[in-house]
Amino acid sequence: MAEKFQPNLQNNKMTLTALNSEEIMEKLGALNEPLNSAWVIESEKLSKTFIFNNFIEAFGFMSKVALYAEKVNHHPEWFNVYKTVRVQLTTHEVGGISEKDFDLANTMENIYLTEYQQFKTLVVCLHLH
Half-sphere exposure (Cβ direction) of 123: Cα atoms closer than 13 Å = 6
Single-letter residue type at 18: A
Contacts of 116 (CB under 8 A, 6+ apart): 52, 53, 57, 61
Burial class (CB in 10 A: 0-12, 13-18, 19+), 88: middle
Contacts of 92 (CB under 8 A, 6+ apart): none
- Any idea which residues carry the catalytic annotation? 70, 74-75, 92-93, 101
Contact criterion met (CB below 8 Å) for 116 and 92 = no
